[in-house]
Amino acid sequence: MDEVERLASEVIRRLKGDGPGRQGTGESESDADSAAGREGDIPVAVSGRHIHVARGALDRLFGEGFRLTKLRDLRQPGEFASEQTVTLVGRSTRALEGVRVLGPVRTYTQVELSRSDARRLGLDPPVRRSGDLVGSEGITVVGPAGSIQLKEGVVMATRHIHMTERDAKERDVSDGDHVRVRFDGERALVLENVLVRVGNDMALELHLDTDDANAAGVRLPMTVKILR
């Protein structure tokens, strides 16, 4: 048994011993209290480390037929933070515990990390939009019922703005565009290469990881505007 497998086995034993009430102490996966925003403003949300799971992965991690338990709704329609968490084990054999599982179940399993998290785990994931996983990093994911070894599926999410077609028209942008966003304050910063994602099942919201948010001195709730 190599070091990663040994660590995964130890985590599973510990999770089974903790009982169902203990869910871990990892960072929040997002902030559901983003600002509603004035007309023309875009609410900011900060997404911490988290995982989306496919049905097969959920069965292996939590048990056959397991169903996620909703902790709270997220701003994007139909999406929620679950009570369930997992542990991530990287090549460095260091672990990140309490990583939140987001619902609903998807057709693919995807782990989203910041650069700081990735370095801690000894990983070098690419910056990708959700679902673009070919050639991405691998990782071991450990739940209370078992573990899975992903050959790929770990990414750093590209910074992006969700919006409806009406929102996009008002801002003269289209799906797939890249824009610039300015943050005011003591740590004023302009973020470039912000992807625009348009869909009528989306809610207006800028998504940043914790590294970007810390660099810009983000304090929620807050809103930003696209630079022209």
> How many other CB atoms sit within 10 Å of the CB of residue 200?
10
- pLDDT at position 93, please? 85
**Has residue 143 got a pLDDT over 90?**
yes
DSSP string across 94-153: -EEEEEEEEEEEESS-EEE--HHHHHHHT--PPEE-TT--TT-EEEEEE-SS-EEEEEEE
**Has residue 22 got a pLDDT over 60?**
no
Average pLDDT for residues 71-81, to the nearest whole number? Answer: 97
Confidence label for 31 from pLDDT (cuts 50, 70 and 90): very low
**Domains assigned to the chain:** 3-29+47-157 (no CATH), 160-226 (2.40.40.20)
* pTM as predicted: 0.83
- Give 37-63 pLDDT, tens digit per residue: 344 599 999 999 999 999 999 999 999
